[in-house]
Amino acid sequence: MIDAPRRRGPTRLAPPWPRSLLLLSVLALLAACAGSNERSSPGGFDAPRDRPPGSTAPTDPLRPDVPPTDGGVPDGGGDVLPASAFVKGPLIGTPSRAALLPLFGGGEGEPVLTSNNPEAFTGEGTLYTNARALPSRGGKATRLPRVDGGSFGVYLHHLNKSAKESFVTVLVTNPGAAAVDVSLSGTGYSQADTGGVGLGSSPDYRVSRDWITGQRPASGAARIEPGKGAVLWSKRVAQNHEVDGRFTMTASAAVNVYVVAAPDATATAALTLTQPIREAPGDYRESGAPAPPFGRTAGVYAHDTWRSVFDAELPDGVANVALMVNTATGGGLPQVQAFPALARLDKSAAEAVGMYGNVYDIDVGLVNRGTAARSVRVAFHSLSTGSASRWWDGASMVDGALKDVLHVPGSVTTALFEGEVLPGERRLRFRAMVPGLASIPQALTIETLD
C-alpha cells in the first residue's frame, strides 16, 4: 500500500463585519432620524443588514452570469450597502486604504490544493502533497475529496530554477482498498506555451482567462488500483521558466495528490520521488506567525470562491464608496478574506494569502430610489505599494462579457461599468479568478457622478 489519508480539520467561516462599520450604520440611522438629507425607505436602506458570512445560496461557478436589469425590486438577498456609507464628493485616483469597507459575503465551494512554496525549485522532488507530512517542512494529511465522488481544486505556480529542464507533474495515488476513478479538468501553461510572461499573455493570464470563461478541458483520467499511482497532468518547464495551472479533480473515493518536479512525465519518475517521499529543494519561504501579507501557500485551503451578493443604495449627489477585496492577515485591513488552511506545510501560509487560483464573484444591485436616471461608475483597483512589476494580470467576466484586468504601477484601475442607472435597480456581476501574478489588496468602488 502506498499511503493512507487522515481526515481534515474543521472549516472556519469568514469573519463578520467589524464593529466600526456597525457603528457607522447606527450613527447614520440616528442622523436620518434627526433630519439627515439622506433618503430612507420602509425597507431600512439606511442601515446595513448583517448576515453570517458565506450564507448566500450555494453557487455553481460555471452558471451563466446574471444579466443586468433595470427597474424592479432589489434582489440582493438581504445585504444592503446604505446610501449613508458613501462619502460625499468625487473619487480622486484610487481609494485610500483607510476608506475601505468590508465586502459582503464569504467563502463557498470546494477546497483547493495549492502548490506555491517553494515557488522556485532548484531540483527534483515533491513540492506539495495532501498525503502526509514532508520530512523537513512538516505538514499533515487531509482527505480529498471531502466525500466520495466529490471534487476539489488544484492550483500550482512554480519557477524552474534548477540546472536543467524539468517536468511539473500532478501524480495521484490510491490509498484505499478498492479501485478509484479519477479525472482532472482545467489548463496549465509554461511560458514556452504562451511566448513569454508579457502582460496579458503570461501563463497566469491564460489560466485565469480559461478558468473564468469555463474553458476547462479534460486533462487526464484514470482508474487507479489500490496501492498504485497515475500521472494526470505534466508540463515540460525549461530552465528559468514559469508554470501556472488551475484544475478541478473528481474522484470516486479518497486520493492522495502529489505535485512533483520530475525528470520526465512518467508515473515511474514521479513515484520514485514520492515513495518514499523526497522534498524538492528550492526557495522555501516561511510565512511567520501571524503570516505577513505576502505569504507563500502550500496546503489545502477551505474554499474556491468568495461569493458576494448585495444591493448598493445610490445616494443623492456626487459620492463614492470603496469595498476591500483580496485581504489577508497582516495586511492592515480589518476584514480577512483569505480562506483558512485545512492542512499546510508547517511554515507556509495559514490562509490563502493572495487568493491565487480562487474566484471573486461579486453581484451588486445598483439601486436608484429616485425618479430620474443616475450616472454611475463601478471600478476595480489594485492598491499594492510593493515593488512587483505587475499587480494583476488576468481576465474577468462582467455581465457575461470578457474583460481584461491588467494592472501595473501607474495603471491600476479597470472600469467595470459606466453609464446610466434608471429608477429601480441595475444589477452588475463581476467574476475574476485571482491570477498567479497579482499583488494584494484590491478594491471595488461605486461612484455616483451627478
Q: Does pLDDT of 213 surpass 60?
A: yes
Q: Which residues have C-beta within 8 Å of that of residue 376, sequence separation ≥ 6?
A: 314, 366, 417, 418, 419, 420, 421, 426, 446, 447, 448, 449
Chain centroid offset of residue 373 CA: 34
Q: What are phi and psi of 211, to 5 degrees?
A: -65, -45
Question: What is the pTM (predicted TM-score) of this model?
Answer: 0.83
Q: Where are the domains of the chain?
A: 19-108+304-448, 112-299
How buried is residue 403: exposed, middle or buried, by Cβ count under 10 Å (0-12/13-18/19+)?
middle
The rounded mean pLDDT for the chain is: 86
The 3-state DSSP class for residue 204 equals helix
Section 239-247 average pLDDT: 99
Q: What is the Cβ-side half-sphere exposure of residue 92, based on CA atoms within 13 angstroms?
A: 2
> Grid coordinates in use for 381?
483597483
d(Cα 227, Cα 256) in Å, to the nearest integer? Answer: 11
Mean pLDDT, rounded, for 279-287: 94
56 vs 42: CA distance, rounded Å: 23
Question: Are residues 102 and 17 in contact, defined by beta-carbon separation less than 8 angstroms?
Answer: yes
| Most confident option among 3-7, 32-36, 184-188 | 184-188
Q: What is the pLDDT of residues 178-210, one digit of tens each?
A: 999 999 999 999 999 999 999 999 999 999 999
pLDDT at residue 51 tops 80: no
Q: What is the pLDDT of residues 74-112, one digit of tens each?
A: 444 589 999 999 999 999 999 999 999 999 999 999 999
**pLDDT tens digits for range 330-378:** 889 999 999 999 999 998 999 999 999 999 999 999 999 999 999 999 9
Whether 219 shows a pLDDT value over 80: the answer reads yes
Q: Which residues pair with 419 in a beta bridge?
A: 376
- 126 to each of 88, 111, 161, 169, how far by Cα in Å? 54, 20, 15, 10
Show the cell assigned to 262. 520530475
Q: What is the 3-state secondary structure of 139-166?
A: CCCCCECCCCCCEEEEEEEEEECCCCCE
- Determine the average pLDDT of the residues in 239-259: 99
Which tens digits make up the pLDDT trace of 393-432? 999 999 999 999 999 999 999 999 999 999 999 999 999 9
Q: What residues are paired with 64 via a beta bridge?
A: none
Phi, psi of 248 (to 5 degrees): -115, 130
Q: When comparing pLDDT for 207 and 46, which is higher?
A: 207
